[in-house]
Amino acid sequence: MSWQEAPTLNFSLCPTSWVHPWVHGRPICLAKDGDRLIVLFGGGTKRGRQRDIDRAKALHAEGKAGPRGSVERDPAFANALLDEAATLFLNGEAETARLILRDLVNATLGFEQLAEATGKPSKSLHRRLSPKGNPSMDNLAAIFGAVRQRLGVGLEVHTVQAHA
């Protein structure tokens, strides 16, 4: 496995919609592990960059526990995933957003509790958050609401100047 900072990574083999080298002004770390691309959101400042890369390596090495392990160890990571899912949806990258949201549901409340919270069948919720899922706005609002309540956070949307 090779770790690199996003600005120096060769993105020629990555789908364009997955290239987010900076999130809210912070670099992210990417790693290729076999055929998987692992993304660490919320990398720190230049001063703490090596510490963040080392932490990402440690989480991956101990982890392979997926998002659940990261969310349990670091609630800020869960908040960053929720923020990223919402941002991706609003920017037209629905498939990636659904996958992040699905992982976040699995790592926080699980689909059975989500079904109870939303009044929707668990299997239906799984399908809606699949790569080819097509959840309605009402369903998305219910899913985001249940996750927000579980995490004890709110969401705010701000517009920013688009880059040409």
Instruction: Look at residue 157 and give its three-state secondary structure.
Output: coil
Give the residue extent of every domain in the chain: 2-64, 75-151
Question: What are 72-97's pLDDT values in tens digits?
Answer: 767 888 888 899 899 999 989 999 99
Supply 68's token pair. 């659940």
139/74 Cα distance (integer angstroms):
27
Which pTM value belongs to this model? 0.59
Write the CB contacts of 96 (distance below 8 Å, at least 6 apart in sequence). 17, 18, 88
Question: What are 95-111's pLDDT values in tens digits?
Answer: 999 998 998 898 889 99
- Residue 46 gets which letter from DSSP? S
Q: In what order do the strands lie in the sheet with 36-40?
A: 2-5, 29-33, 36-40
